[in-house]
A and B are shown apart, each in its own frame.
Chain A
Amino acid sequence: MDPIRRSLLGQLARLSAGAAMVPLSSVASAGINDQPVRREGDPNKRYGMLIDLRQCIGCQACTVSCHIENDAPLGNFRTVVSQFEVEQEGTGEVATFMLPRLCNHCDNPPCVPVCPVQATYQRQDGIVVVDSDRCVGCAYCVNACPYDARFINEKTQTADKCTFCAHRLEAGLLPACVESCVGGARIIGDMRDPESEISRLMDQHRDELMVLQPEKGTLPQVFYLGMDEHFTHRPDAEPGIWDVINEAGKELGYEFGH
């Protein structure tokens, strides 16, 4: 849980050090592959998401509503719920594990400094966005993201990713995935506001929260409650999905993207 603590401490430090330090820190961050200065967005906010896995039933309503809201091409997803079948070896008992995935809007996002034209940038409220009018489609950010949260949108031929539905947040609405979640598993909010639901839940469950691949140093800002540590990394699992083939060895069932 160190990265979470570090990120929280970092945010506290940023709050306490105040705005006066911001210009200084931006001058200091001129090294190659360092984080550039954040721009746009509300500097007084830091959006984050908490996903209560105990509430997730794997219905993919978030996947579908996001897909419709953001007009992603078939086969590409800004968010998706990975599902695993877990069989207890001794008893043969089977359980299902759900893992909603989306952009982690990291505090140290590896996708941002690699962008050669500053089309990908982090807003002051922490949301990582892509300017699709500027993006050259080099796909460097797609490779740089350890969470596979990015893809090249074949309609726009530019990098595409979850934006926490920034356009909806700005209109006072919840992101499509949060709005459609039947179990209320996804909670989004301003983590700098101590009264926000996400702040309260994070205070309450501080020691149980986990993030994906914490050792990468990306400081993800999507926190999971009810997470099994095995699933914070690439799962040690049977890749069942690829077995859907017909007698001729042709893959069935995955028509997307062709």
Chain B
Amino acid sequence: MSLVTEVVVPRYGIAWYPWAVQYFFLMALSYTTLWIAAPGIILGKKNWLATSRLALLACVSTTLVAPVALLADLHQPLRFWHFYAHPTPWSWMSIGSFLLPLHLVCTVLLAWLAWRPALKARSQAGDGWFSRIAGWLAWGNWQAPRAAMVLVGLAALTSSLGMMIYTGAEVAIVKGRPLWHTVWLPPMFVATGTIGACGLILLLNRISGMRQADTNRQMLAIMVGACVVAGFIALTWFLDGANAVSGSVAAALDSISQSDAWRNTAMEGGIAGVLLAALAFLARRTPGRRRAFGWVLGLLALHVAWMFRWVVLMDVQTVARNSAGFHDYHIAFGSYGLTGVIGIFGLWLTALLLIELFVPWREASLDPQRDAPPPTDASPTTGASASNASVSAASQGAPRHG
């Protein structure tokens, strides 16, 4: 036996910055909120409509901001066009660079179709600039068939599956980082993403003033389910590798046994996850509790989803591969660190507020022909005028703008 001391060793920095956490966080919210929007907006399930409207807002805002975070994580952001000049079908990241714009276009198109009837109605409302902008956004008074919306919705669902697969595979194929190189990581991204999406919708339900009782019930039910699934994935991942001498579980146990920081992280993660599952289970049992605690659980769920990505993407990079101990990583204040994290959240808030200001998203409709004349009215020219009343009547929210 001998004691080994490292005397000379280079300092290895981290290669992916907190921007990457923001991208994976927002993108996971994007595809999972789309799935939550699907029953109401795409499949036409009436009791999901209110939830779908919130989910659609969450989906569009996260989808718009996520690519900014991704771009910022490149050291040469202005060279992003190289992705399209040199397509590389064997690289997951290149595949993602083609899926991402597709996903963005599909989700924004879907939301636009869902928001158009309300936009058209607002454009007729004589509300000054808000009406004028609503008219521009509606882009004419024509009506899209319901089938177009279903088709765009299905395309968006397909692209969201692509995003789910690529974001998971991109990280999980990296053999150089044993903690990433496990088949259990991609499903865990999806499970924690779903938890975060439910949390975000619960939070939006409260702060938007919609306060839909159905939404609280539905989101807490899905959240409990996603917590159970995440628990099973974590357990299976552990059992799958508990006896292996190498691999992601062995690397995790190594880190936990060697580092206080990792011990604390594991404790925090475990406690936050179990606490969230337990609280969600308790809160979902009565409408009063759901109303009172929904948004608090929402915040906790977003915390769990974000922290999971922080630990996976940032903390794992501090595990040394060729030197003893752990790399020192303290989040910098500048744009490679804290300012970047806050900046992306700020941008997201801005996107939410701009949509809130200019789009009557509370009245999103599953039928792009909402404002069409009723079948008994044969006149094809009265299209937009009758819409306002019908939209408002169907809306379960409190329409307001500005």
List, sorted by A's number, 10 A–B pairs whose CB atoms are closer than 8 Å.
A86-B2, A86-B3, A113-B91, A117-B82, A136-B74, A137-B74, A139-B15, A145-B176, A146-B176, A239-B325
Chain B residues within 8 Å of A172, by CB: none
Bound state CA distance, A34 and B320, in angstroms? 26
> Is the beta-carbon distance between A240 and B5 smaller than 8 angstroms?
yes
Cβ contacts B9-39/A at 8 Å (1 or 0 each): 1111101100000000000000000000000
> Is the beta-carbon distance between A144 and B7 smaller than 8 angstroms?
no
> Is the beta-carbon distance between B11 and A113 smaller than 8 angstroms?
no
> Is the beta-carbon distance between A234 and B324 smaller than 8 angstroms?
yes
Nearest to B173 among chain A residues (CB) is A33
- Size bin of chain B's contact surface: 35 or more
> Is the beta-carbon distance between B321 and A147 smaller than 8 angstroms?
yes
Cβ contacts A139-176/B at 8 Å (1 or 0 each): 11011111110011000011000000000000000000
> Is the beta-carbon distance between A113 and B5 smaller than 8 angstroms?
no
Cβ contacts A211-223/B at 8 Å (1 or 0 each): 0000111100000
Q: Number of A-B pairs whose CB atoms are under 8 Å? A: 195
Nearest to A132 among chain B residues (CB) is B76
Q: Is the interface of A mostly helix, strand, loop or mixed?
A: loop
Chain A residues within 8 Å of B2, by CB: 86-89
- Enumerate chain B interface residues (CB-CB to A < 8 A): 1-13, 15-16, 73-76, 79-80, 82-83, 85-86, 88-97, 169-170, 173-177, 246, 317, 320-326, 328
Known: A113-B91, A114-B91, A140-B170. 17 other contacts (CB 8 A): A32-B95, A76-B10, A82-B6, A82-B9, A82-B10, A82-B322, A82-B323, A83-B9, A85-B4, A85-B5, A89-B3, A113-B90, A117-B88, A136-B75, A142-B15, A235-B323, A241-B8
Bound state CA distance, A135 and B75, in angstroms? 9
Asked whether any CB of chain B lies closer than 8 Å to the CB of A101, the reply is yes
Chain B residues within 8 Å of A195, by CB: none
Chain B residues within 8 Å of A29, by CB: 90
Bound state CA distance, A117 and B92, in angstroms? 11
Asked whether any CB of chain B lies closer than 8 Å to the CB of A50, the reply is no
Other-chain contact of B88, A82, A85, A115, A145 (Cβ < 8 Å): A115
